[in-house]
Structure 1
Amino acid sequence: MSIIPAYSISKAAAFSLTQAQRMLLADQGVTVHAVLADSTDTDMDRDYDIPKASRESVARAIVDGVKNEEEDIFPDSMSQTLAAGWRDSPAKVLERVFTSAPAVELAKS
C-alpha cells in the first residue's frame, strides 16, 4: 500500500533499477519487464477492505505480457487505467531514448 512510506520508496527504487537494467542489457538482447500491479489478493493486503486482483489473474497477465513483449506490464484493471498515460509519458519516451543508445556511449558521458 502506498500509505506506507518505506514500501513506496522500495517500489520506486525497484522500478528505477528495472529501468536501469533495461538500458544496460538492451544491447545484449535481454529484455527486462516491470510488473506494475495494484492490490493483489495476498497475505500483505488481506486486512485491507479494498478491491484486489486475484493472484491467478495477475500471474496470467504477467505471462501474457512477457509473451506480448510488453516492457511494462499492468496486470489488473486498476493498474490498466494508468497504462496508456504511462506509455505516452515524457518519462517513458526518455527511457526509450536511453535504451536505444548504446550503453558504452552512455557510460562515457
Structure 2
Amino acid sequence: MSIKIENKVALVTGANRGIGKQIVETFIEKGAKKVYLAVRNIASTKELEEEYGDKVETIQGDVSDDKSIINLAAKTTDVDIVVNNAGVGTPQSTIGKNSVEDFKNQLNVNAFGLLRVANAFANTLEKNKGAIVQLNSVASIKNFTPLSTYSASKAAAYSLTQGLRVELGAKGVQVLSVHPGPIDTDMSARAGFTEAFPTTVVSEGIVDALDKGDFHLFPDEMAKQFEAAYQSFSDNVVLAEAEE
C-alpha cells in the first residue's frame, strides 16, 4: 500500500509547533488539499491560519481525552491521512519518587493517545483507504536512562503501531511508524540534546515513506544508525509476523 499527499485531506495532532507544525507546512507544500490542525488550544495556530488560509482548519483535539478525540473524528470524516504527532517527553529516570506518576502521564498521552486516535478514526480511514502515521522515536527500541519513562511509553506506542499495521492493514489502511532521533524542538532542548536535526527531515521523510508504502521511517542520521542495527530483527520478526 502507498498513498500520495497530493489532493489529500490530512489531520495532524499537536499541529501548533515543532514537528507537527512542520508536517503541516510540508504537506501543504507537497500538494495536500487541506490539513486539519488538531490542538488543545485553538488559539495556538493563528500563524498557520494566517499563512495558509482555507487550506488549514483548526479544530480542538486532546489525545489524552476520550470524548475530545471521538468528537474530533466525528467532525473530520473526510480525512485521508491522520498523523498522530502529539506527545509528551519529560526527563525522568526509572528510579525516582516521581517515576510512577510521570510514567502514567506519558503513557496516557503517548500510548493511550494513539489508541484513542486509532480507534476513533479506524472506520473513516478504512472507508477512505487512507493512512495513519504514528510519531514514535528511536527511544521506542532502546531505553535512554535519563528518559526512561518516555522511552517505555514510546515502546508501548511502537508495539501498538505494529498491531495497527496488522489490523488496519488488512482493511486497506497504510500504517507508518516514525522513529526520529533528536530533532530541533522544545522537547529535545528540555531533554538536554545540544545537537539536533531539523524538523524537515521528519516531515519530508513522512511524505516519501507514505509514497513508498513503508512501515518504518528512521529519518535522520542518528535514527538511520538505529535502523541499520535493527534491520534484521525488523525484517525477520516485526514485519514477518504480520505476514504469517
What interval of TM-score do these two structures reach, taking the shorter chain for normalisation?
Answer: 0.7 to 0.9
Q: CA deviation at 1:50?
A: 2.8
Q: CA deviation at 1:49?
A: 4.3
The match for 1:74 is 218
Larger-Rg structure? 2
CA contact 2:182–2:193 (8 Å) conserved in 1: no
How many equivalent residue pairs? 100
Q: CA deviation at 1:98?
A: 2.7
1:67-106 CA-partner distances (Å, limit 9, x unpaired): 12111001101101121332221x54223333124xxxxx
- Greater relative contact order (Cα 8 A, min sep 6): structure 1 or 2? 1
1:36-65 CA-partner distances (Å, limit 9, x unpaired): 000100011124243211112221112111
The match for 1:27 is 170
What is the DSSP-based 3-state SS (H/G/I as helix, E as strand, rest coil) of the residue aligned with 1:33?
A: strand
Match of 1:37 among 180, 201, 209: 180
The match for 1:93 is 236
Structure-to-structure mapping, 1:5-16, within 5 angstroms: 5-16=148-159
Aligned partners of 2:148 and 2:193: how far apart in 1?
A: 20
CA gap of 1:43–1:98, structure 2 versus 1, over 3 A, is same
Q: CA deviation at 1:19?
A: 0.5
Gap runs ≥5 in structure 1: 102-109
What amino acid sits opposite 1:10 in the alignment? S
What amino acid sits opposite 2:202 in the alignment? V
Aligned partners of 1:85 and 1:21: how far apart in 2?
A: 24
What is the DSSP-based 3-state SS (H/G/I as helix, E as strand, rest coil) of the residue aligned with 2:175?
A: coil
Aligned partners of 1:52 and 1:62: how far apart in 2?
A: 18
Aligned partners of 2:239 and 2:168: how far apart in 1?
A: 13
- Does structure 1 residue 17 correspond to structure 2 residue 199? no
Whose strand fraction is larger, Structure 1's or Structure 2's?
2
Q: CA deviation at 1:13?
A: 0.5
CA contact 1:26–1:99 (8 Å) conserved in 2: no
What amino acid sits opposite 1:14 in the alignment? A
Gap runs ≥5 in structure 2: 1-90, 92-143
Match of 1:61 among 199, 205, 220: 205
